[in-house]
Amino acid sequence: MRTHGTGGGPRFPALDGVRGLAALAVVVHHVGLYVGAHGDIAGGEVLRRLDVGVPVFFALSGFLLYRPFVAARAAGGPAVRVPDYLRTRALRLLPAYWVALGLVAAVPYLASVTPTIDPVQSGDWWRYFGLTQVYTADAIGQGFPHAWTLCVELSFYLLLPLWAAVWSRRPLDDRRSVAEVVLLLGLGVASWGVRTLTYVEPQVLGSWFPFGFTVGATFLWFSVGMAAAVLGVHRPAWIRAWPAPGAAWAAALVVFLLLSYAAGLPRSTARPSGVGFLLLHGVPALIAALLVVPFTTTDGHGRSAVGRVLASRPLVRLGEVSYGVYLWHPIVVLVLLDQGVGTDDRFWILAPATIAASIALGALSFELVERPARRLRRRRPALA
């Protein structure tokens, strides 16, 4: 996914690299999860926490998708056309997902190694192709279990124009920009608290509604990017005052290691305590902010050493194909395990094999599905 606006909009090439690295983090995390390596090998604590890539994805979406709305409001120019925005987001999200899900359900061998695919082959297929499975407890782990993040993204896509419409009624000035940032982060913290409450006391919302897999429960991660969009447009000096990329990324690494080793969280899939859960879903927001925010101005730290590495052609290309990598990597793991790859010391064999195969499939998905889908949309400057 290219992380800049189309039609001459500002570019944020370093964020392509951030997205690509976040995708690799999620791939490695899931490989460890499939083979049980989180609790069995040295460094299992780190593997367990590499799901921090998901909050990074959501922070990127919050920034990249909200910034055109904020920029249009600040410039006093034409507003983002919501029908075009929704069409663009649908063409970005759905075709590659539909192709991947449909192929796995239709190809007998792929279906045979994917134990969660059966409901897609039943009368409930619409639930999975429509990305509504997260709203029913019995369906959330079926189809593509990792597609819960796509369900959340879809909800965010639909809600974002409503939020933008509320704030577009008045021009963006100093007072309103600060108020919006405070409100965004306040709502994010509130969602974090409610998610923790429903974890500790599940009966609050009832077991039928898996709130933890909705945009309401994950809004903290989106709010980081949305706040950066407001500040990057109206108060870029605040972003430039953020730690330089090298310092910010070093701080993110320290926080990540503390979360992995010093927070008392379990290495395995064991249920953490309430405080542990609070840390598990709050600290990644800080990590995402440290990784993403330095690169959210057009004249900021993108020219730093870290920015240049992230904007290098290999990492930009990795970011470009990252959606396909994300879609296909669990299927790759299941196929490789079925074929006996990595039977002995299987994590250290399976992880690089999965990365290589997933990148190849991601590139195919991009060239054969995602790029043609892009040609179907009308190019407008305000769309991300």
User: Is 5 contained in some domain?
Assistant: no
Res 324: pLDDT: 98
What residues contact 162, with CB distance under 8 A and at least 6 apart? none
User: Is 55 contained in some domain?
Assistant: yes
Please write the tens of the pLDDT for every residue from 161-173. 999 999 887 777 7
Cα separation, 319 vs 316, whole angstroms = 5
User: Is 382 contained in some domain?
Assistant: no
User: Is 381 contained in some domain?
Assistant: no
- Residue range of the domain that includes 42: 13-375
pLDDT of 106 higher than 70: yes
> pTM for this one?
0.92
User: Is 2 contained in some domain?
Assistant: no
Q: Which residues are 11's β-sheet partners?
A: 4
Please write the tens of the pLDDT for every residue from 46-75. 888 999 999 999 999 999 999 999 999 888
Q: Which residue has the higher pLDDT, 346 or 154?
A: 154
Residue 370, CA distances (Å) to 91, 175, 318 in order: 8, 41, 14
Question: If you average pLDDT over residues 353-360, what whole number do you get?
Answer: 98
Res 6: pLDDT: 35
Neighbours of 381 (CB within 10 A): 16
Cα separation, 257 vs 49, whole angstroms = 9
DSSP string for residues in 84-120? HHHHHHHHHHHHHHHHHHHHHHHSHHHHHT-TT-GGG
pLDDT of 288 higher than 80: yes
Confidence of residue 383 (pLDDT cuts 50, 70, 90): very low
Confidence of residue 194 (pLDDT cuts 50, 70, 90): confident
Under DSSP, the state recorded for 43 is T
Res 43: pLDDT: 75
Cα separation, 359 vs 317, whole angstroms = 10
Neighbours of 127 (CB within 10 A): 19
| Neighbouring C-alpha atoms within 13 Å toward the C-beta of 293 | 31
Under DSSP, the state recorded for 367 is I
User: Is 1 contained in some domain?
Assistant: no
User: Is 77 contained in some domain?
Assistant: yes
Q: What percent of the chain has pLDDT over 90?
A: 61
Number of domains observed in the structure of the chain: 1
Dihedral pair phi/psi, residue 59, rounded to 5°: -65, -40
User: Is 140 contained in some domain?
Assistant: yes
Q: Is the dihedral of CA 61, 63, 66, 67 positive or negative?
A: negative
Cα separation, 227 vs 235, whole angstroms = 11
Res 238: pLDDT: 76
Q: What percent of the chain has pLDDT over 70?
A: 88
